[in-house]
Chain A
Amino acid sequence: MAMIDEPLYPIAVLIDELKNEDIQLRLNSIRRLSTIARALGEERTRKELIPFLSENNDDDDEVLLAMAEELGVFVPYVGGVEYANILLPPLETLCTVEETCVRDKAVESLCRIGAQMKESDLVEWFIPLVKRLAAGEWFTARVSSCGLFHIAYPSAPEMLKTELRSIYSQLCQDDMPMVRRSAASNLGKFAATVEPTHLKTDIMSIFEDLTQDDQDSVRLLAVEGCAALGKLLEPQDCVAHILPVIVNFSQDKSWRVRYMVANQLYELCEAVGPEPTRTDLVPAYVRLLRDNEAEVRIAAAGKVTKFCRILNPQLAIQHILPCVKELSSDSSQHVRSALASVIMGMAPILGKDATIEQLLPIFLSLLKDEFPDVRLNIISKLDQVNQVIGIDLLSQSLLPAIVELAEDRHWRVRLAIIEYIPLLASQLGVGFFDDKLGALCMQWLEDKVYSIRDAAANNLKRLAEEFGPDWTMQHIIPQVLEMANNPHYLYRMTILNAISLLAPVMGSDITCSKLLQVVTNASKDRVPNIKFNVAKVLQSLIPIVDQSVVEQTIRPCLVELSEDPDVDVRFFARQALQTSEQVMMSS
């Protein structure tokens, strides 16, 4: 047993715990690997620590994951980029383990290191590693190899490049669907590094194979490749090679493939240019909007605004809008909900006239939808329409919708609408708000559900911020203070909470003249829960009000509470007193 100097003691523990039986301690040590490396010095890190890690790779997955992550940023500790290849062997082993998240992290770290390595080192160390993994006995190694080609390829000499392309093409035909999936999902990244000439030949033929794979899960990922490849190709090549594929995919037997197309289609419009978009992609998209499978319609409906943004308004009105009308009365509530969450964004695209003429009826029908989610989604995006046509045209339907949501029997729906009230207030203006919505905001303070009362108190604060203290003095404070004597203690507590939230917004004067009185009165409450909440509120008021007020009103009240028979009241009162003393000391 070597003698360890006192200051080195913690590091010695850290090193020993690399092999502790407790997984938490091993994890801790691995996370501090850089500290261990610095303590050993660069040379011994290269010669001892890294081989040590390479040999001890049968640890639990959590430890391996941490190791894979640490090694990705380890270049400085082994002596800089010229020694980066030292780090490859342990990561290579981690690329072969069974747990997906460990492999993914190891690949990520390898890419990070590879991106820093010199070209000659890549050829000497990195490319052979990729080839070894690609030829691995178990599918796990081959899966990992697919994610490394885009780092290896650019620096490879011509011969090796040819070989790498052919290896990748083999991986795309691997027996294991897992490997083909990995190859398909990494194809875009790899293709971005391949020269245009090979892109059109090798990569496109790989891509075509993938698009015809037996496994739905592989074809699905090939769809993602469409957009990525489309952006790399010249528009005419994209039209020749990608367009037919995507049009095919949009009619695939598998709804999951069509679902992916619905999600990705708008990205392709830019790559192919306006004319093919009009002739091919718009009809494909219209088909998807009318798909049999609700999941596909949900995806398509959710992209309707993004898609229309690319088209010229004429096309959108002519082809897409009729579908949107259909979808607004779709049999699936999720489709309508997806549509409602984006449809408001179409207003700026279509312009004022088309919006009033075409979209407004849809908005109004969605605002009357039987499912609250749909209505909520419309209300949440109100600002986008407001900019185009103003709110007046909507306000007639808006109010009943809001009132109904505000009284919905599901508290989560009520909660959602409360969160939108400040947005509504800012869009609708003070006048409208006072007439119609003010009463609702007070009503929520007396809701049966705590979360609603809590949100209601918060809502008052946000309204006060929106409309300013003068307005609040007139429209909120009197109503709130009226409720301070509610017979139910839980409601009295909500008012205390509202006061503590409003006070910072209202400022010192109003707090002292209006609010403080209510709080000190509440300190005489018969319920201890109210009393200790009074202590908490008073504590929060100390920084807001003037020192003299603390001395004359707050402290005497707290002193009284600190002698209360209830232990909790005494505790919070004393805590508040301590705060007041600290404030006094510092001032």
Chain B
Amino acid sequence: MIPLGNGEVGVPLPLEWKFSQVFGERAAGEEVQEVDIISAIEFDKSGEHLATGDRGGRVVLFERTDGKNYAFRKDQEKMDYSNARHPEFRYKTEFQSHEPEFDYLKSLEIEEKINKVRWCQTANGALFLLSTNDKTVKYWKVQEKKVKKICDMNLDPSASIGNGRFSGPIGAATDFVFPPGGFPSLHLPVVIVGHETQLVPRCRRVYAHAHDYHINSISNNSDGETFISADDLRINLWNIEISNQSFNIVDVKPVNMEDLTEVITSAEFHPTHCNTLAYSSSKGTIRLIDMRQSALCDTHAKLFEERETPGSRSFFTEIIASISDIKFGKDGRHILSRDYMTLKLWDLNMESSPVATFQVHEYLRPKLCDLYENDSIFDKFECCLSGNGLRVATGSYSNLFRVFGCVSGSNEATTLEASKNPTRRQVQTPSRSSRSFTSLARSRRRDANGGVYDFSAKLLHLAWHPTSNVIACAAANSLYMYYAEDVPR
């Protein structure tokens, strides 16, 4: 648990979450198209923009409606309810980031599905981001351009076609002389700049052919010039400017693939220390590596691993221990990890056990056999921390997600549903009140106790706004946004 600072009065009260917005809401009875399912969500550092990626290889950008208009913001401050406003977003633009491909050498289909989106440093008002599918990372620039009209050409554009392009050097011929004052009959075309603007996405660089396995993470370095891409067995380091070479910094591939016991599941750079990098494994460990130590980081600086409680071992122990996502807290001191059943918060200074463990859906423990049979046990849930580091969140089944308070003494544990009415099923411990599900369930699966879980409606992807209490989460093809006002103490 995060200890409270001296200035804090007490444990913050649980947040009351309210529905804010939904994009791509499904109409009743509408079937979800596979390509529309959201597969990545990410806020930028300022919280002004939000990006999502989907299985169809598209990246959709959203922007804050209240952020851009400074005059409006000032008015708000005057009216003294600036705190009351929560960030709202609107659709900005979208582009096709990846296309389905076929690797002819390996006879492999490469899906266009976006695995991760990461925002990069903005410059001159243009937005930059990295997106990746299983094999290829791309660097995108989205820029607002004024619509321009060209007129008053020297030659009639329709007439000049077919007159042949000139190619010989002008003025090199001896009979052609430039008069000192130039030719008055020539003039420059006139460019009329309109008021309309147009968002132009452009792929600036493609970082390809560096991964034999599927890329699961990309992460920017705080130095602003490098990033990593991680696949099941290797982590590569890139310079953003250079797309034709990368350096392999972690390689866990055994000489003999039959000796393989562990794969990399997620990797992230420290938010401020340029040389520190964490990656998680399918065995439930998190390794912290110091890139200063050596070029190939085979040895870790720290290993975070919880000791197994004796006697609790079962067939599923190893499977559910696999970490699906890790995130650094903004302070750089904590790492949040998600395994199948729990959310764990680690302090970088304590390797032996997490400082807090949150049960996400303990009521599923008796169902592990079913979950194994329908492969749900291999679902990869993401996790996120609030900007102030006081709370953490992660997703579950039946389109539910949970928010926990991680300040010591807090027992905040909220369950929300990704729908317009997030609190209608708010229950602290769903296992006890599982009976209440029955009334809501229609086509859902019932177990012997009457508990209902919709394993197909899994909420895998979610993100917490960097500065305010806003959570964006994906339920299939819909993007739901929720906000909570800071409750006065």
Contacts and interface: CB of A to CB of B under 8 A. Distances in A.
A214 B272 CA distance: 9
B254 interface: no
A207 B359 CA distance: 52
Contacts of A55: 191
B188 A293 contact: no
A58 B124 CA distance: 11
Given A13-B155, A13-B165, A44 B182 contact: yes
Contacts of A2: 154, 185, 187
Interface string B31-55: 0000000000000000000000000
A294 B191 contact: no
Q: Which of A41, A178, A255, A292 has the largest count of B CB atoms less than 10 A from its CB? A: A41
24 contacts: A2-B185, A3-B185, A8-B185, A12-B154, A12-B155, A13-B154, A13-B160, A13-B165, A16-B153, A16-B155, A40-B182, A40-B186, A41-B178, A52-B188, A98-B124, A140-B123, A177-B223, A178-B121, A214-B274, A215-B222, A215-B223, A252-B292, A292-B294, A295-B294
Given A13-B155, A96-B124, A215-B274, A178 B225 contact: yes
B223 A217 contact: yes
B209 interface: no
Interface string B289-312: 001111100000000000000000
A177 B241 contact: no
B145 interface: yes
B189 interface: yes
Interface in B113-161: 121, 123-124, 126, 128, 141, 145-146, 150, 153-157, 160
Nearest to A291: B294
A49 B186 CA distance: 12
B245 interface: no
A55 B121 CA distance: 26
A100 B241 contact: yes
Interface in A1-57: 1-5, 7-16, 18-19, 32, 35, 38-45, 48-49, 52, 55-56
B185 A16 contact: no
B121 A139 contact: yes
Given A56-B191, A178-B224, A216-B274, A13 B186 contact: no
A176 B170 contact: no
A183 to B, nearest CB: 14
Interface string B199-242: 00000100000000000000000111100000000000000010
A291 to B, nearest CB: 10
Interface residues of A, number: 58
5 closest Cβ pairs, A-B complex:
A41-B182, A10-B166, A254-B292, A12-B154, A40-B182
Nearest to A5: B185
A97 interface: yes
B179 interface: yes
A41 B185 CA distance: 12
Nearest to A99: B204
Contacts of B3: none
A138 interface: yes
Interface in B265-302: 272-275, 291-295
B70 interface: no
A15 B154 contact: yes
Contacts of A215: 222-223, 274
A200 interface: no
Given A40-B188, A56-B191, A138-B123, 9 more contacts: A10-B166, A10-B168, A15-B154, A15-B187, A19-B189, A39-B186, A139-B123, A292-B294, A293-B293
A526 interface: no
Interface in A319-369: none
A256 interface: yes
A96 to B, nearest CB: 6
